[in-house]
């Protein structure tokens, strides 16, 4: 997983939850790597009481799965921080799979 670099949460690390278990953290502009079991998996990120959407995927034995993440609070959305914390705390961070296509 790679995390983009942004102003919001610049000094904060996101907790990485895989299949509901916290397995590590990813820093601003950082990379997180771990082994995952083959089969169906889910990934979510958390920072305090806020977090990301949940990404679910099937992983084959030995397959490498690439994900990307970052803060949704960019540009004008920064001014909606309080509203996001109250109304959609799992919209704080974006999380998606990255295409392996070149």
Query: 27: which 2 tokens?
Result: 């820093």
| CA–centroid distance for 85 within its chain | 16
Give the tens place of pLDDT for each residue, 85-96: 556 656 779 999
Phi-psi label, residue 23: left if phi above 0, alpha if psi -120 to 50, beta otherwise = alpha
Q: What is the pLDDT of residues 26-64, one digit of tens each?
A: 999 999 999 999 999 999 999 988 899 999 999 999 999
Question: Which residue reads 């914390």 in tokens?
Answer: 85
Q: What is the pTM of this model?
A: 0.82
Q: From CA 84, how far away is CA 81, in angstroms rounded? A: 5
Q: How far apart are CA 74 and CA 77, in angstroms?
A: 5
Q: Which CATH architecture has domain 2-97?
A: Sandwich (2.60)
């Amino acid at each position: 997983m790679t995390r983009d670099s942004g102003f919001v949460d610049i000094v904060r690390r996101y907790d990485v939850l895989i299949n509901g278990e916290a397995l590590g953290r990813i820093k601003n502009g950082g990379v997180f790597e771990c082994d995952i079991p083959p089969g169906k998996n889910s990934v979510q990120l958390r920072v305090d009481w806020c977090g990301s959407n949940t990404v679910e995927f099937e992983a084959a034995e030995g397959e490498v799965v690439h994900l990307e993440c970052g803060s949704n609070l960019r540009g004008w959305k920064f001014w909606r921080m309080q509203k996001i914390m109250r109304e959609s705390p799992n919209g704080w961070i974006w999380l998606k799979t990255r295409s392996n296509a070149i």
